[in-house]
Homo-oligomer: A and B are copies of this chain.
């Protein structure tokens, strides 16, 4: 028997099937290719005839193979390819007049329910712990504790850890940004960076243009600051509509900032084309409106190729770049950072008055890891894992969800965005799924409107165990029930 098949705890036919599934996902076997015959399987893997048959039938049932009379089994086109893309919005005009609906109540209701006995968390926007270098970071931290007896008993520098900021500046080069370490402010996650950015450029009552749908954390920040969100149509392919944004700028007073996630937008996964980025930067400049860039996910783009930040097109210090290590390096560390152009002094002061500075230990641990080749190795691994998991997630949706379902196929990140048949209530689905221990992120969280009530964001940051597959099967049943 192949050594690659010696994973315990699963019947042999499932392990053999997994082996061929890997080959399909790696495109070693492509749609239309002939699957080895039952006899060949017996010979090559030293399994019984009945195991070989079970393997092929299982893959057929799961929709990966089709049997052709007298010719054997053939690989079918990946199921995910049958799922249509998310409906494109009308990109010509802004969605709503500026409005301010209490998003927080919705979010906190969802979050407090999410505290219950969750078995499968499809609601979160981070990878599963297995995807992160926990052990390596622990080993680094242990060494640091031995070397620095004062790590917890000494105040750190109020301007942040210089080594860490230097590492960040060096890595930012690949996104086209040339930063001095002193231009970097370390924050408690991207969420604190967004807070400081908005507080630096706007006042309560001011209007902020945001993508629609957008991640609910941003809507919460704005609600907590008394700022009003103007939702701009956003494509799952190319990001925010520049046409609608420009119209909004011409017709709405008091827009003080635009907040955009140019790469792997949350929840849709869109990546803005470079030409759009350039136009967006110019547009904000011309209207004297601050541009706030949220760069939480760029490191998780599947192909690992560098993406030019909005900041890299900025020649007038009008872009505030906010970033996070929470998704890429360590969900257990609250580490983000920002560089704020002409508002740098102001965000520095706001940060000092808000939370002082970040702990020394987390900055040091991150700095050491990120300065080493281990970080790039980790990024390569997590990207590969995320690509496979995205594919398997889309396949599961194709298999178990109603045929009218649409789904994003983002080129990276930890989520897919699912569009259900119009009228399906993602809140009801959320509640039903919770009864089975499955957490989802219902679409209503991603807007102050009801526009996304029939959407949901699902996590694809988890290795695809049987439990996850079963959760998708269960979720599919619930969606069909609720959709009616």
Q: Which residues of B contact A157 (CB under 8 A)?
A: 115
Q: Say if the beta carbon of A349 comes within 8 Å of chain B.
A: yes
Give the complex CA separation of A19 and B140 in angstroms: 43
The A385-435 residues at the B interface (CB cut-off 8 A) are none
A332 to B358 CA separation, bound complex (whole angstroms): 9
- Is A484 positioned at the interface, with any CB of B under 8 Å from its CB? no
Copies in the complex: 2
User: Chain B residue with minimal CB distance to A348?
Assistant: B108
CA distance A124 to B217 in the complex (A): 36
CA distance in complex: A191, B330 (Å): 25
Instruction: Find chain B residues with CB under 8 A from A192 CB.
Output: 354-355
Q: Provided the pairs A203-B204, A331-B153 are in contact, do residues A354 and B134 lie with their beta carbons within 8 angstroms?
A: no
A366, chain B: closest CB distance, angstroms? 9
Q: Which of these, B158, B204, B333, contacts A152 with CB under 8 Å?
A: B333
Q: Of B130, B135, B153, B217, which one neighbours A134 at CB under 8 angstroms? A: B153
A155 at interface, CB cutoff 8 A = yes
A89 contacts the other chain (CB 8 A): no
Contact call A159/B115, Cβ cutoff below 8 A: yes
Binary flags per residue of A140-166, CB closer than 8 Å to B gives 1, else 0: 011001101111111111110000000
Docked Cα-Cα span, A371 to B317, in Å, equals 49
Asked if A195 lies at the interface with its beta carbon under 8 angstroms from chain B, I say: yes
Q: Does A374 contact B (CB under 8 A)?
A: no
Question: Does A368 have its Cβ within 8 Å of any Cβ on chain B?
Answer: no
Residues of B within 8 A of A124 (CB): 155
- Residues of B near A115 (CB, < 8 A) are 157-159
Q: Identify A334's interface contact among B134, B195, B333, B357, CB under 8 A.
A: B357
A149 touching B134, Cβ below 8 Å: yes
- Since A132-B153, A203-B204 are in contact, a sample of 9 more A-B pairs with Cβ atoms closer than 8 Å, ordered by chain A residue number, is A138-B145, A138-B146, A138-B148, A138-B152, A188-B356, A192-B355, A217-B353, A223-B353, A359-B362
